[in-house]
Each structure stands twice: as C-alpha cells, then as structure tokens.
Amino acid sequence: MPPARRTAPFCSASCGGLADAVYGFPRGPTSDIPGGVDARSLSLPVMPSGAAIPMDAETAATYGLTLRGDARAHGLFDRFGRAHTYLRISVTERCNLRCRYCMPEEGVQLLPKDHLLSFEEIERLAALFVRLGVRKIRLTGGEPLVRRGIDDLVARIGALKAHGLERLMMTSNALLLREHIPALLRAGMDAVNLSLDTLRPERFRRVTGREGCEETIAAIHAAARAGFRKVKVNAVVMKGVNDDELVDLARAFARELPIEMRYIEYMPFEGNGWGEELEMFPAASIRGRLEEQLRLEARGLNDGGAGTAQMYDAFEKDGRPFQGQIGIISSMTEPFCGTCNRTRLTADGHFRWCLLDEGEIDLRAPLRAGATDGDLAGLIEQGLRSKRAGHAPAAVLKETQKAAGPTHARSMIRIGG
Ligand code: SF4
C-alpha cells in the first residue's frame, strides 16, 4: 500500500487502486478526516478519473446536466456537480409484509447475520457520510422496525445532529410504528414515510400477502397526531390493482390532516414482475385520475427542487382546500435525475449511488479489514465518479436485471428504496 495515501486523506486516484488491493489495509487511526468537513465548502482539486464511465453530453443534456469534468468527482459531488447530501440507509432485508412490487413472490434469500452491518458499523459509516456533507439520512429496510434494537440505532444516528446532520427520517409500513413513536421522537426523528397502497383490507391482503390494513391506517393517524415535522403516505400505483382508489386515498389522509399523500410509479426491480404480472400506471394518468374529482395546483419538485415528488396543492371541486399536499413520484415517465442528491447504503454495507443502477462498491469488507475513514471516503468518491446522468429506460433496466439475475441484481427489498 503506497504510504503517500496517509498524508493525503482524499487522494481519489490511489483510492481507485486501493479497491484492487483486496483490502490489505495497515491498521491505523480509524479517522483521518478532520471533524466537521462540509463538502460544500471544500475547494476541489482536479483529479484524473481513469476508469470513469464515459458520459455522452447528449444523455446528460436530457437531464439538464452539463458534464463538468473530473474536477467535481470528489467529496459527495458527482461529475455533474450534483451534491449528494441525502443518504438512505437500509438497516435490514427482513420485512413483515410481502408486497408484490417489492420482492419476488418466493421471497428473497436472506443474507447470513454477519453479512449485515452492525449498529457500530452503520453508526461509523453514517458519521463519515455526515462529515463528507450528508445532511439528511433516511432509515429504510425491508421494514426497519423489525430490526431488533432499532430504537437504539435511531438514537445513535439522531446523535449525529450534533455533528451536522439536519434531518432524520424513516420509511416504514407502519405495522409496528405505534409502539415505537415515543422512542423515535426522543431520538430526533423528524419525518416518517408510511406505505399504504389501498384502504381495502382484502386488496391489502392481495398486494402484501398479509393482514394489517386497519393497523396501518390507525398508525398513520397516530403519527399525524404525534408531533413529527412531517408525515407522508406512499402508495405504489399499479394499473388495474389500486388506480381506482387514488382520490379515496387523498381524501382519507390529506383532506382533513396535514399529511402528504404521494403516489409512486411502479418501478422495475429484480423479480418484481414489472410489466408482466403487474403494470405501471404512469404519472400523467395518476394526475388525470385525480383531476376527475379534484383540482390540483402544481408546486414543483419537493425538497427545494432536489426531491423526488412533484407537489400539488389540492382542492375539492367546490373549492375546499386540502390540509395536506399531493405528491407524484414519476421515476419512469418523468424522471428527476437532473437534481438527484441521493445515495444509498445497503444493509450488507454496499454503497449504491443510484437506485436504478446495479453499480455498487462494498464498504463492509474494507471497513472490517481496518480501512481508515480516508480509505472509505476514497471508495465512496470512486463510486460517485461512476454515477450516470440518469437511469436507463425501463425496458433496458428490465433486460439488465433479467440478465444479471438475483445474484447480481437487487430486488427492492435488498436496496431499501
Ligand atoms: S434513478 Fe438514480 S440518478 Fe435518477 S433520481 Fe433515482 S437515484 Fe437519482
């Protein structure tokens, strides 16, 4: 291992080589990154990016992006200058539901326990990402609340608010939520996204393979009363399955309560039957269906334009306003990659820079082999240097996943959304 790396914690060129060194890391100080680095204030040295995937300006342009050259492929910036300040951490591959759009009917082969990151490892990586510039962390799964000791883990991540973390959120199916609400709030949880695709128990059973519709609805209402900064309900819309319930869902949660009702275009993932057993209901049709009975006023992409949802104020036709907003997440037909600020850490410790790209770098093995934070930061940068301007068209994604199969392509439950 070239000793030079020790003095230049952020030398991405060598970090690239590092990955091939099969992690023969000399045991050294665990962190050589000065505390409180704000990636947004870093002056970025120009770095060659040997193995970076060539990006055609045309694809980039379709996303309103300009290839800014290698200089930006550092810290949490990608080569298009997008700052990745939002990290989604999957804390488990287990779930107490079997949603058809999330995993293969036969379920997924769960990884051995020791393949999953421990609390200490999640905490260390989260702290590193925060020092690199992450300001928002979302905990996902599988279903995060089935992870034993989850309240303790949330408290550990919440403590990073003293070191630059600004927002802590969770995505959950809400089935276990009510008993965890007090601990989540104590730990600094700001917002929860709760999954519910239907208000009808028998349809819930068909989509999720389990009972729980009433408990989920009760938990959503409990969350709305609990004092979170934000409560959102996410429904994945599937043609001929729940597209006839869109207005009912909006009226159930967003009319009388300040809950955001969001509709998600069904996306292709390994083994989720996209375009075969189940069909996507595109954003334009979702809008059309809602506007049959409601009036929508567009408010643009959420999260200051870097979000995933197109937001709308909603009104009944007689003018009565909704307390909560409507959101439509249109990854497939109206993608929002141009302002993407998201990356992911999978439950088994892989850094994934795009939801819809199978590209990943394993952080778990080097971490367990004694890598320093500088080494890990180098691997994170290497990953971001590979980030494309946007995702491939759905048909290409589907073919890629099929060719890769369950060994090399991840189902949604193994990414965490
Ligand atoms: S598909 Fe990838 S690049 Fe596009 S918004 Fe999602 S994570 Fe970002």
What pLDDT score does 67 carry?
56
Tell me the one-letter amino acid at 139: L
Residue identifier of the C-alpha nearest atom 6 of ligand 1: 355
- Going from the Cα of 367 to the center of ligand 1, the distance in angstroms, rounded, reads 26
Q: Over 50: is that where the pLDDT of 248 sits? A: yes
Residue predicted with more confidence, 218 or 2 = 218
Extract the tokens encoding 100: 């058809």
- Going from the Cα of 185 to the center of ligand 1, the distance in angstroms, rounded, reads 29
Pairing relationship of beta strands 230-237 and 260-265 according to DSSP bridges:
parallel
Question: Beta-strand (E) ranges in 82-219?
Answer: 86-90, 136-140, 167-172, 191-195
Q: Is the peptide bond before 142 cis (omega within 30 degrees of 0)?
A: yes
List the one residue out of 147, 135, 90 whose CA is nearest residue 363: 90
Q: Over 70: is that where the pLDDT of 124 sits? A: yes
In whole numbers, what is the pLDDT of the chain averaged over residues?
86
- Work out the pLDDT band at 277, boundaries 50, 70, 90: confident
Percent of the chain's residues with pLDDT above 70: 82
Q: Over 60: is that where the pLDDT of 13 sits? A: no
- Distances in Å between the Cα of 299 and the Cα atoms of 10, 260, 309, 312, 389 are 39, 13, 10, 5, 25
- Work out the pLDDT band at 16, boundaries 50, 70, 90: very low
**148-168 average pLDDT score:** 97
- Distances in Å between the Cα of 281 and the Cα atoms of 50, 136, 234, 314 are 41, 30, 15, 20
- Going from the Cα of 414 to the center of ligand 1, the distance in angstroms, rounded, reads 17
**359-364 average pLDDT score:** 96
What pLDDT score does 269 carry?
92
Q: Over 50: is that where the pLDDT of 8 sits? A: no
Residue predicted with more confidence, 50 or 95 = 95
**156-168 average pLDDT score:** 97
- Distances in Å between the Cα of 303 and the Cα atoms of 24, 85, 95, 327 are 41, 12, 28, 12
What pLDDT score does 66 carry?
58
Say yes or no: CB of residue 336 within 6 Å of ligand 1. yes
What pLDDT score does 58 carry?
62
Residue identifier of the C-alpha nearest atom 4 of ligand 1: 337
**Burial status of residue 267 (CB atoms within 10 A of its CB: 0-12, 13-18, 19 or more):** buried
- Give the contacts of 320 (CB within 8 A, at least 6 positions apart): 255
Q: What is the pLDDT of residues 126-152, one digit of tens each?
A: 999 999 999 999 999 999 999 999 999
Residues in the chain: 417
Q: Over 60: is that where the pLDDT of 68 sits? A: no
Q: Over 90: is that where the pLDDT of 185 sits? A: yes
Residue identifier of the C-alpha nearest atom 7 of ligand 1: 354
Percent of the chain's residues with pLDDT above 90: 70
What pLDDT score does 30 carry?
40
pTM of the predicted structure, to 2 decimals: 0.84
Side-chain-facing half-sphere of 296: CA atoms under 13 Å: 23
**370-384 average pLDDT score:** 94
Say yes or no: CB of residue 337 within 6 Å of ligand 1. yes
Domains (ranges, CATH) in the chain? 84-415 (3.20.20.70)
Say yes or no: CB of residue 417 within 6 Å of ligand 1. no
- Going from the Cα of 124 to the center of ligand 1, the distance in angstroms, rounded, reads 25
List the one residue out of 169, 217, 228, 167 whose CA is nearest residue 195: 217
Tell me the one-letter amino acid at 101: Y
What pLDDT score does 76 carry?
87
Mutate to test the pocket of ligand 1, among 337, 353, 384 (most ligand atoms within 8 A of CB): 337
Pairing relationship of beta strands 86-90 and 167-172 according to DSSP bridges:
unpaired
- Give the contacts of 33 (CB within 8 A, at least 6 positions apart): 9, 128, 131, 132, 373, 374, 377
Q: Over 90: is that where the pLDDT of 17 sits? A: no
Q: What is the pLDDT of residues 391-403, one digit of tens each?
A: 998 989 999 888 8
What pLDDT score does 193 carry?
98
Extract the tokens encoding 318: 């007689």
Residue predicted with more confidence, 23 or 416 = 416
- Work out the pLDDT band at 46, boundaries 50, 70, 90: very low
What pLDDT score does 109 carry?
82
Tell me the one-letter amino acid at 380: I
Say yes or no: CB of residue 99 within 6 Å of ligand 1. no
Q: Over 50: is that where the pLDDT of 407 sits? A: yes
Q: Over 90: is that where the pLDDT of 200 sits? A: yes
What pLDDT score does 232 carry?
98
Say yes or no: CB of residue 340 within 6 Å of ligand 1. yes
Q: Over 90: is that where the pLDDT of 49 sits? A: no
**11-28 average pLDDT score:** 41
Q: Over 80: is that where the pLDDT of 51 sits? A: no
- Going from the Cα of 389 to the center of ligand 1, the distance in angstroms, rounded, reads 8
Q: What is the pLDDT of residues 301-360, one digit of tens each?
A: 998 888 999 999 999 999 999 999 999 999 999 999 999 999 999 999 999 999 999 899
- Going from the Cα of 91 to the center of ligand 1, the distance in angstroms, rounded, reads 20
